[in-house]
């Protein structure tokens, strides 16, 4: 799941990286010559990030402070962004900016009247620097509320080059070939895949890649909007495809039971840690950050990826996630918060985190040279080149009660399916019941 935006202090018609203009809507002028127009002000930002992600985002916030003089305060919400922010608003302690990791939550916040539409400056940045699909996912109706600062490429399968070389296999061209090669890896002494079943969101990502490739983008969009029921034959088919992997003990490190007790960092450790148990781990580009930061792997040498392969003759999927910066109406300093979002919309802000690592930007104006290694540059280029064929993480588009809450909804039901994948049709029925309830309660 992969959250922020750029507060550019410029004119309402021009994006200027030097702070020498006036912010939109008559805000404090941004003077040249080193003046700090937001001295003495504080912008509070909430988001899910912790650890290295929080540390690297702080570098972006520090760059904003250097330009404007505004202090920043970051508050980590944990995964339940919706609940935490709702409580803060009710308590009169709303942050100014929230980095929202789910389209469904953004839509929920907008529906409750909590959000300010983005300024003209921010909207111009989005039109100039982003593929239209990112504006679509940041909008409710025709109103743009969210700017996607950080993206995730969730169609990457990460592997140990040594493990695949030992098995004598290369990056597969199809999903069936990937499973066949997985058996070869298993025969050489390692399980094929480490699966993070303790974190239900990873299982939704597996399903989404299979479904997008197998069923196609039109059905993907319809299912994501719940215009297609989860009981549709295409869903049952995709669950069956996923179930073949889940129940194959040669393919899953430790089998289903161990997978259900493995969280995301643990799945990366099973491939890139000191005692490898598997040759591959499917998840987004952020696997690289864990492999490098926690296990000292050199990306491109000790850890690499291949694109999630096409399923049943479909096209290779490109599933993305991302964090959108939104401005809360009830924030104590929402005007300065909007300026932060304007800054986050610039290539300059994205470059700060890109250089730090563990980051992809959907901003097509960011120079790929800003990324620190060739593998990350290749991942970023793949995301940008996909343009409007990118599909946002389906579970992140759903109401949080169905697609984004631990222990319930899709996360829980796919964990149950990992435990027992024998009846895809029954699982599809359970998913439809949970989805229908969540959408009914939301609307």
CA atoms within 13 A on the CB side of 324: 32
Question: 239 is in which domain, residue-wise?
Answer: 156-317
**314 pLDDT higher than 70:** yes
**108 pLDDT higher than 80:** yes
In tens, the pLDDT along 1-15 reads 443 333 333 333 333
**242 pLDDT higher than 90:** yes
Q: CA-CA-CA-CA torsion for 95, 1, 211, 170, nearest 10 degrees? A: 160
Q: Specify if 128 maps to a domain.
A: yes
Does residue 103 sit in the same domain as residue 204? no
When pLDDT is cut at 50, 70 and 90, the band that residue 33 belongs to is very low
Q: Looking at per-residue confidence, does 357 or 260 come out higher?
A: 260
The arithmetic mean of pLDDT across residues 158-181, rounded, is 97
Q: How many domains are there within the chain?
A: 2
Q: Specify if 340 maps to a domain.
A: yes
CB 297 within 8 A of CB 149: no
Indicate the helix (H) or strand (E) that contains 143: strand 143-144
pLDDT value at residue 34: 55
**51 pLDDT higher than 90:** no
Does residue 173 sit in the same domain as residue 286? yes
The arithmetic mean of pLDDT across residues 112-117, rounded, is 97
Domain closes at, from 268, 301, 317: 317
The domain that contains 302 carries what CATH number?
3.40.190.10
Does residue 169 sit in the same domain as residue 302? yes
pLDDT value at residue 358: 84
Q: Looking at per-residue confidence, does 51 or 367 come out higher?
A: 367
CA dist 88 to 75, 81, 91, 117, Å? 11, 11, 5, 20
Q: Specify if 380 maps to a domain.
A: yes
Does residue 331 sit in the same domain as residue 251? no
Q: Specify if 260 maps to a domain.
A: yes
- Quick check: pTM over 0.85? no
Q: Specify if 118 maps to a domain.
A: yes
Calpha distance 95→82 (Å, rounded): 13
When pLDDT is cut at 50, 70 and 90, the band that residue 56 belongs to is very high
Does residue 247 sit in the same domain as residue 306? yes
Closest CA to 21 of 31, 36, 33, 6: 31
In tens, the pLDDT along 73-96 reads 999 998 778 889 999 999 999 999
pLDDT value at residue 289: 84
**320 pLDDT higher than 90:** yes
Cα diameter, the chain: 68
């Amino acid at each position: 799941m992969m959250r922020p935006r750029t507060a550019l202090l410029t004119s309402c018609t021009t994006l200027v990286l030097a702070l020498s203009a006036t912010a939109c809507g008559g805000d404090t002028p941004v003077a040249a010559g080193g003046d700090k127009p937001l001295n003495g002000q504080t912008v509070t930002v909430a988001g899910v990030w912790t650890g290295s992600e929080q540390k690297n985002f702080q570098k972006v916030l520090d760059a904003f402070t250097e330009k404007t003089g505004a202090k920043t305060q970051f508050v980590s919400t944990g995964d339940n962004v919706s609940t935490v922010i709702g409580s803060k608003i009710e308590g009169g302690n709303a942050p100014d900016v929230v980095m929202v990791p789910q389209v469904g939550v953004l839509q929920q916040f907008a529906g409750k009247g909590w959000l300010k539409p983005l300024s003209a400056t921010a909207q111009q940045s989005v039109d100039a620097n982003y593929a239209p699909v990112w504006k679509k996912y940041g909008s409710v109706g025709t109103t743009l509320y969210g700017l996607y600062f950080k993206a995730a490429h969730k169609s990457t399968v990460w592997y140990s080059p040594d493990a695949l070389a030992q098995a004598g296999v290369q990056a597969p061209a199809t999903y069936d070939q990937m499973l066949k090669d997985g058996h070869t890896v298993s025969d050489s002494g390692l399980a094929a895949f480490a699966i993070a079943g303790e974190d239900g969101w990873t299982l939704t990502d597996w399903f989404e890649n299979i479904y997008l490739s197998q069923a196609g983008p039109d059905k993907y969009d319809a299912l994501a909007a719940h215009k297609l029921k989860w009981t549709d034959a295409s869903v049952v088919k995709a669950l069956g495809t996923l179930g073949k992997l889940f129940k194959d003990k040669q393919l899953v490190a430790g089998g289903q039971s161990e997978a259900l007790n493995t969280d995301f960092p643990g799945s990366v450790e099973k491939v890139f840690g000191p005692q490898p148990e598997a040759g591959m781990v499917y998840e987004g580009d952020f696997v690289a950050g864990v492999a490098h930061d926690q296990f000292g792997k050199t990306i491109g040498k000790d850890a690499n990826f291949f694109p999630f392969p096409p399923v049943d003759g479909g096209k290779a999927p490109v599933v993305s996630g991302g964090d959108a910066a939104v401005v809360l109406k009830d924030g104590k300093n929402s005007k300065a918060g909007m300026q932060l979002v304007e800054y986050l919309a610039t290539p300059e802000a994205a470059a700060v985190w890109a250089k730090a690592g563990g980051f992809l930007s959907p901003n097509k104006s960011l120079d790929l040279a800003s990324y620190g290694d060739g593998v990350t540059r290749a991942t970023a280029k793949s995301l940008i080149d996909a343009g409007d064929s990118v599909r946002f993480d389906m579970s992140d588009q759903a109401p949080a009660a169905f697609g984004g809450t631990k222990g319930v909804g899709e996360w829980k039901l796919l964990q149950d399916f990992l435990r027992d994948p024998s009846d895809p049709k029954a699982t599809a029925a359970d998913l439809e019941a949970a989805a229908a309830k969540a959408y009914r309660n939301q609307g």
